[in-house]
Amino acid sequence: MSCISGANLTKNTAGYYLKLASRHRKSQRDDLIPKVKKVLKAEPAIIYNKVSKLAKQFYKRGREVMGEYHRLNAFVRFEAYPEYLLVSEVRPEHDILDLMFSYFRRRYPDFVILLWDQHSGNLSTRRNLDFPVFGYKRNYWHYPRTKYSLLMVRDLIRSQISELFNVDNFTTELWEHYYDSQYIKSRKNIKLAQKAIPKKMIAKAGGGMSYEAKRFDEEEHNKQKSTLFDFLEK
């Protein structure tokens, strides 16, 4: 993520973290960013040395935003539709949707990406499409989730494309089959898996990781049963 909001910034610089920290949910409610900008202008060493309380808080927010961006990109699971549409539900804490769209537009250049959040549908693509009935922000369109159904969005896309996509090779069942093929009961390490995919990130990824959540719940249930049986046998 060397390019943020169109600005070419060297990673790990104060300017880089300033762009990231500004996206933090807390930065929308307090005056940390204006304070940091003021200090950077007057005495930048206070921020550069990362020792002061203000500097630590500033860099921590930047790392949290960066971490959410990278982990959500890794955990998102898409459902494909014939209109070259990939759909997933995400619930980021911070203002990172445009960064996620930049990533997925590069990864899936022929597709339209639809990311639901709690209240909105958010749509972006590298295709030459337009959705004037929606609002536009940065690099994506957005609309109230209650106003437009998925079917309506698909119709809008279908009216602008000349071909359809074969979804047979892009299914949830295919991912589940892969997941099961990698599951070796004798070598399972549920604690490590839960550390790599914490419940908080599963929640942020919406319904996209429901299969992983189901398997974790099964393991937890089996663990509780085993513990009870072991107790009764004593």
Topology annotation, domain 76-169: Diaminopimelate Epimerase; Chain A, domain 1 (3.10.310)
| Consecutive H or E run containing 123 | strand 120-125
Nearest 5°: phi and psi at 221?
A: -65, -45
Q: Is the pTM of this model over 0.75?
A: no
170: exposed, middle or buried (Cβ count in 10 Å: 0-12, 13-18, 19+): middle
Contacts of 46 (CB under 8 A, 6+ apart): 39, 52, 54, 55
Return the DSSP state at 227: H
Mean pLDDT by 10 residues, the chain (234 residues): 49 88 96 96 94 96 95 88 94 94 95 93 96 95 95 97 84 54 55 56 55 54 55 50
| pLDDT tens-digit map of 186-197 | 555 555 555 555
**For the chain, which residues make up each domain, given as ranges?**
3-73, 76-169, 172-233
Distance CA 14, CA 1 (A): 15
